[in-house]
Amino acid sequence: MNHMPHESLPHARTFMGWPPADSVWGPYTADVRRDITAVARTIAEYEPVVLLAAPEDAERARKACRGAVEVVAVPVDDLWLRDSGPVFVTAPDGTLAGVDLRFNGWGGKQEHSRDGLVARRLLEEYAVPRIEAPLVAEGGSLETDGDGTLLVTESSLVNDNRNPGRSRDALENDLKNLLGVAKVIWLEGVRDQDITDCHVDALARFAAPGTVVLGSPPPGTGPDVWTRVYEQARAVLEGATDARGRTLEIVELPEADPAGLGERGEDFLGSYVNYYVADGAVIMPRFGDRRSDERAAAILRYLHPGRDVRPVEIHTLAEGGGGIHCATQQQPAARP
């Protein structure tokens, strides 16, 4: 059976996307491209990075990254490769395949005529066998411990904008067969409050088998819809066991404190949980509140010993409702 590896295992490369001039970023395109460049060049210090760009944008992307990354001519609508790109799985013999999750613009919320083809085109470019998923999902909605357990939010999967008429049990069966997991832990999440319908990768992540890092509201927040999402998630995780029967250690990772950030838009994502584990490093957001940033870095060092923790400013990216994990997708290294 195929198996979805944990992000901390060795990578062949990281995929990212270069937002085109006609994307939803509009007048903020230059700013978000700077964020993408900063993230890509930081990751490239640890492993190869491939940036997908429309043919007319490829040279600009190369110049921005100063040769640190490979640019491949694959058109994109937006930069969120975690969601539009494939999720990779490995067979028992170590061979690799890519799962096309049939990206549909987070339930038709955004234009995706190019992004809907990204997984297929990327897999063709790298000659990786393609598996068409029997459900619609995004990579940001799937979090595995690499040891048989999957963490998801019900709001982003059991949703008629992606999988109309499908029951949770039916989708769980598909996920087990597709990703090689034995147990799915369902968090409730929330619908219609952000474009993703509450992806799990901005809420809770497996730092290692048996250890979940949970994004928590900053002190004094709420009560509001997001504090209720956190409280429900914590209650489920406290009562859950993983595929091996272990109770879960929960490590809280508080979000950035709005009081230290200045004015932010309504879509701003202050989640440190949306970090990316590269080979030898953890790439985390730096939001500008020194106390929150340093606290998050210390927690991530504890969770990922032996890796550099590299904060990167992503002000525009975060204003767009996403983060570093949302903008990256790893290809696992092939096993001998």
Kindly write down the DSSP assignment for every residue of 16-76, as one continuous string. Answer: EE---TTSTTGGGHHHHHHHHHHHHHHHTTTS-EEEEE-GGGHHHHHHHHTTSSEEEE---
Q: What is the pLDDT of residue 67?
A: 86
Beta strands per DSSP E along 290-328 = 308-313
Mean pLDDT value of segment 223-236: 95
Judged by phi (left if over 0) then psi (alpha if -120 to 50, else beta), residue 144 lies in beta
**Statement: residue 49 has pLDDT above 70:** yes
Token couple for 181: 């997991």
pLDDT digit string, tens, across residues 5-46: 999 999 999 999 999 999 999 999 999 999 999 999 999 999
pLDDT digit string, tens, across residues 253-303: 999 887 778 778 888 899 999 999 999 999 999 999 999 999 999 999 999
Token couple for 161: 């904008």
**Statement: residue 221 has pLDDT above 90:** no
| Phi, psi (degrees; rounded to nearest 5) at 230 | -60, -50
CA distance 327 to 318: 11
At residue 226, the 3 state secondary structure works out as: helix
CA distance 133 to 76: 20
Q: What is the pLDDT of residue 315?
A: 94
**Statement: residue 336 has pLDDT above 70:** no
Token couple for 252: 């809280």
The Cβ-side half-sphere exposure at 45, using a 13 Å CA radius, reads 14
Token couple for 288: 């500008």
Identify the bridge partners of residue 52 per DSSP, sorted by sequence position.
17, 72
Q: What is the pLDDT of residue 114?
A: 97
CA distance 172 to 187: 13
pLDDT digit string, tens, across residues 155-177: 999 999 999 999 999 999 999 99
- Which residue did the predictor score with more confidence, 258 or 88? 88
**Statement: residue 329 has pLDDT above 70:** yes
Q: What is the pLDDT of residue 238?
A: 98
- Which residue did the predictor score with more confidence, 334 or 163? 163
Q: What is the pLDDT of residue 223?
A: 86
Q: State whether the Cα torsion 43-121-154-257 is positive or negative.
A: positive
Provide the whole-model pTM.
0.97
Helix (H) or strand (E) holding 250: strand 249-254
Check: CB of residue 319 under 8 Å from CB of residue 34. no
Kindly write down the DSSP assignment for every residue of 100-167, as one continuous string. Answer: E----HHHHTS--TTGGGHHHHHHHHTT--EEE-SS---GGG-EE-SSSEEEEEHHHHS-TTTSTT--
At residue 279, the 3 state secondary structure works out as: coil
Residue environment code for 42-79, b if the CB has 16+ CB neighbours within 10 A, otherwise e:
bbbebbbbbbbbbeebbeebbebbeebbebbebbbbbb
Q: Hey, which residues are catalytic here?
A: 326
Domains of the chain listed by start with CATH number:
11-332 (3.75.10.10)
Q: What is the pLDDT of residue 297?
A: 98
